[in-house]
Structure 1
């Protein structure tokens, strides 16, 4: 059972189409693995359509607040849907969320992994100039990612294995949001390596004496620091 999910506000933004594409990708990959959030999204889609169907473009603010309150009240009243059987997929891609398979067409091992430390690798999936960075992190069993802070918001989605930090233990499918107030040192469980999808609005900053040398590399490859004409 998954313990960490996107917030209701984030799911609402996803439902309305106002979430940025990198962040929407992270939510989609979580939805592929979480029946509870799929049901929440179905309710938001259904009730959002109803809201807009009855909303007048010149409706007063009090009326809009009333409609929103009614929408949230009805979320818990929707019937449970029947789960559909997923189509057969290539065995190499079975463990990869459907939303990510176009970016990882041949499995994790065929990606272009960049070794940052002996136990920590990174593979870029998307680096649109001026936007968020979408990448995979891969850490060996029992190892830890260097202590770091965030210079912007970060989404982490566990794709395989598990890791822990000062705030909890995160397993496959868990969706974690961090901001620039967070500082942590993720450690992978000893039974298996851990692969995560990460969406970074800004580069992370390593704080250790030696790992600080990696910070220029992280800034160099992050699209927010790359000129749009590069």
Structure 2
């Protein structure tokens, strides 16, 4: 990953509609911060369109049209999101659209989110939870907070929306993304002093907290 940005494979997968709900929201929000990723998305979509146009014609069954129309009418779980450049707000447009689609309320800013308690100096807002423990959620942490040390049950992706944090010598600020693989142990982000840090997070499985107290309250926070 270059400069804490997603690789081209993620952009191509997003353009192809191959990502699930949680990853689609995070990837679209990440793209909204970076003109270079917006350009790559346009190229990926153009290539996909050209490939479809050049596919050879084939015979179709008589009931194929009915089946396609039925699929179109069915609920579509993966959101179709704008990846337009970020406007003058701390909410990237794809995330703002997603929250509106889910709740009917479009927050004016990240501070307009309905935050719930997570732990000392920390708040959270869960946006979506999948059947296999995958979760899309927002984390808000007070400046100077040392996050609980944890391991991962699956890969974890964290996009910074406000403020900054560091893990060891690596620092992540607004628009940047940390990809923590399942093999990463003793993960412990530290929030920069001075302001709250707010992140959009995808966890593919519940995190594994080290502390006994953390494990006790984890079922209560649902992450």
**Structure 1 regions of 5+ residues with no counterpart?**
59-84, 223-230
Asked if 2 retains the 8 angstrom alpha-carbon contact of 1:163 and 1:186, the reply is yes
**Structure 2 regions of 5+ residues with no counterpart?**
59-83, 101-105
Distance 2:27 2:85 in 1: 19
Distance 1:41 1:158 in 2: 21
Match of 1:207 in 2: 210
Distance 2:147 2:57 in 1: 50
* Shift in Å, 1:151: 0.4
Match of 2:92 in 1: 97
Distance 2:198 2:85 in 1: 23
Secondary structure at 2:18 match in 1: coil
Distance 1:135 1:96 in 2: 14
* Shift in Å, 1:86: 6.4
Secondary structure at 1:190 match in 2: coil
Q: Cα distance 1:57–1:138, how it changes in 2: closer, same or farther (>3 A)?
A: farther
Distance 2:51 2:6 in 1: 22
Distance 1:145 1:161 in 2: 15
Match of 1:194 in 2: 197
Match of 1:174 in 2: 176
Distance 1:20 1:86 in 2: 22
Asked if 1 retains the 8 angstrom alpha-carbon contact of 2:136 and 2:200, the reply is yes
TM-score by length of 2: 0.76
Asked if 1 retains the 8 angstrom alpha-carbon contact of 2:134 and 2:206, the reply is no
Q: Cα distance 1:86–1:177, how it changes in 2: closer, same or farther (>3 A)?
A: closer
Match of 1:135 in 2: 137
Structure 1, 192-201 or 43-52: larger mean CA deviation = 43-52
1:152 aligns with 2:154: yes
RMSD across aligned C-alpha pairs, in angstroms? 2.5
TM-score by length of 1: 0.74
Aligned residues: 189
